Amino acid sequence: MRLHFLVLYLSFSALLYAQKTNIVFILADDMNRDSWGIYGNKDCQTPNIDRIASEGLIFENLYATVAMCAPFRQELYSGRSPWRTGTLANHSKSTPETKSLPHYLKPMGYRVALLGKSHVGPSKAYPFEYVKGISKSKDGNDHLVAESAKFIDSARTEQKPFCLFIASDDSHAPFTTGDPSQYSADQLTVPPYWIDTPTMREAMVQYYAEVTNFDSLVGRVENLLKDKNLLDKTIFIVCSEQGSQFPFSKWTCYDTGLHSGMVAHWPGAKSKQINQLISLSDIAPTLAEAANYNAKEDDFDGLSFLKAIQGDETEIRPYVYGAFTNCNIIDNRERIFPIRVIRNKDYSLIYNPNHTGITSNTTLSAALENDLSKTKKGKVDIASTWLELSIKDPIYKKRVQQLNKRPEYEFFNRKLDPHELKNQIDNPEYKSLIQDMKEALITQLSTLSDADPIATERSLVKTKNKKKK
């Protein structure tokens, strides 16, 4: 009798396993969305990503809340906003009561692992099976593919569905991987939000080499799933993370910082292109729902977009919101310059509360002080080369000043100005729309207990004196 029940149990377990959808999510590191061919780049080679997009799903309007690694990843895995998890600042950790995908999927029988770069914590909030990557000085693709295969084989042996996040180091400076010889600095097209200098072009060569190396990883993991006859049973997603470490991308609330690229192979999807406005916090509840988890009201701040994947074109939200917190960044640990942004599909309103102050980060330090001797040995200092150019050529002066000094409000019509180069805040044509967006932003910040972003940021500063107490 016991043997009979055991056989029935194992058969039932095998049936449940066969019906569960697997998840593999590959994440880049500081990679501009428009580095991918599918988003219009004609120079950088991303054939695997582009093919997945053409055969599967492409997301046009996915936005992160904070363009920094630790806040980004904790929002991705938890489905909760950085205000709720306490991760507005870089190198921050979530509140202990934070819950994430492992909390929801593990009780349903899933193996849930994070392979490669972590940058999240504490472990209680993110109880993944952690598999370490290797040093950024080496190409990690072989290691990531081998460890992915090992984890997937282990989950299959246990007849368990799996959720695997593969976090590459590619495209995070310093640039050490890929093959730069496949690109010629002279033949590249420099995007209009960057200033065209020889240093910029050389940096782009190194950066594009890593983007292409990341694309190679995507193709290898896809082939791994195909070889194991798992691709048609697996939600396979590729995401660019936030923007690059070049000026006006990471560490900002501009479109090039927060606008994320994402493509997917999604079994059973009825859509080819997701045009709805998507917040990064929407990914976790969507994956949880796809795994048949019934979310409770307090689980996520994000909203599932699973219906959009099934062909429903209803808008999910009118706006997405973003934030930047200047403090606790290398070279600028106590500088206060919070930024907040509200966006819809066509317009951006950026709020700089401490507009009389200065924003900065480690890539802008030497240029900020107009001291080129402070440039670290072996480190590409693009901002300083821009500074030199602006002194010689006044046409660049305003753009260079904007690196550190921002007005109280910036307003951009991205339909006419997709790269957010012309501030329209004083244009009377947009007066009513600007007022509506200001009111919506103020209401949202009040709801998030962030009505005074300057006070919020001051409370986050980690000084030596605070640490001693």
State pLDDT tens for residues 21-38. Answer: 999 999 999 999 999 999
Percent of the residues in the chain that have a pLDDT greater than 90, as a whole number: 79
pLDDT tens digits along 240-295? 999 999 999 999 999 999 999 999 999 999 999 999 999 999 999 999 999 999 99
Task: Give pLDDT, residue 371.
Answer: 52
pLDDT tens digits along 374-403? 445 445 688 888 888 888 888 888 888 888
Task: Give pLDDT, residue 463.
Answer: 59
Mean pLDDT (whole number) for 415-443: 97
Mean pLDDT (whole number) for 144-157: 98
Task: Give pLDDT, residue 468.
Answer: 38
Q: Is the pLDDT of residue 433 over 70?
A: yes
* CATH class for the domain made up of 20-315: alpha beta
Task: Give pLDDT, residue 364.
Answer: 76
Percent of the residues in the chain that have a pLDDT greater than 70, as a whole number: 92
Q: Is the pLDDT of residue 148 over 60?
A: yes
Q: Is the pLDDT of residue 7 over 50?
A: no
Q: Is the pLDDT of residue 334 over 90?
A: no
Q: How confident is the model at residue 8 (pLDDT cuts 50, 70, 90)?
A: very low
pLDDT tens digits along 211-220? 999 999 999 9
Q: Is the pLDDT of residue 9 over 70?
A: no
Greatest mean pLDDT among 6-20, 284-298, 331-345? 284-298
As given in the structure block, the two tokens for residue 420 are 């957010």
Q: How confident is the model at residue 187 (pLDDT cuts 50, 70, 90)?
A: very high
Q: Was domain 322-364+404-468 assigned CATH 3.30.1120.10?
A: yes
pLDDT tens digits along 337-367? 999 999 999 999 999 999 998 887 777 777 7
Least confident stretch, 98-112, 268-282, 312-326, 392-406: 392-406
Higher pLDDT, 275 or 404: 275
Task: Give pLDDT, residue 261.
Answer: 98
Task: Give pLDDT, residue 360.
Answer: 79
Q: What is the 3-state secondary structure (H, E, C) of the chain?
A: CHHHHHHHHHHHHHHHHHHCCEEEEEECCCCCHHHCHHHCCCCCCCHHHHHHHHHCEEEEEEECCCCCHHHHHHHHHHCCCHHHHCCCCCCCCCCCCCCCHHHHHHHHCCEEEEEECCCCCCCCCCCCEEECCCCCCCCCHHHHHHHHHHHHHHHHHCCCCEEEEEECCCCCCCCCCCCHHHCCHHHCCCCCCCCCCHHHHHHHHHHHHHHHHHHHHHHHHHHHHHHCCCHHHEEEEEECCCCCCCCCECECCCHHHHEEEEEEECCCCCCCEECCCEEHHHHHHHHHHHCCCCCCCCCCCCCCCHHHHCCCCCCCCCCEEEEECCCCECCECCCCCCEEEEECCCEEEEECCCCCCCCCCCCCHHHHCCCHHHCCCCCCCHHHHHHHHHHHCHHHHHHHHCCCCCCCEEEEECCCCCCCCCCCCCCHHHHHHHHHHHHHHHHHHHHCCCCCHHHHHHHHCCCHHHHHC
Mean pLDDT (whole number) for 109-132: 96
**Does the reported pTM lie above 0.75?**
yes
Higher pLDDT, 86 or 12: 86
**For all residues of the chain together, what is the average pLDDT?**
91
Domain boundaries, the chain: 20-315, 322-364+404-468
Alpha-carbon gap, residue 151 to 261, rounded angstroms: 26
Q: How confident is the model at residue 234 (pLDDT cuts 50, 70, 90)?
A: very high
Task: Give pLDDT, residue 422.
Answer: 96
Domain pair 20-315 / 322-364+404-468, same fold: no
Q: Is the pLDDT of residue 405 over 60?
A: yes
Q: Is the pLDDT of residue 167 over 60?
A: yes
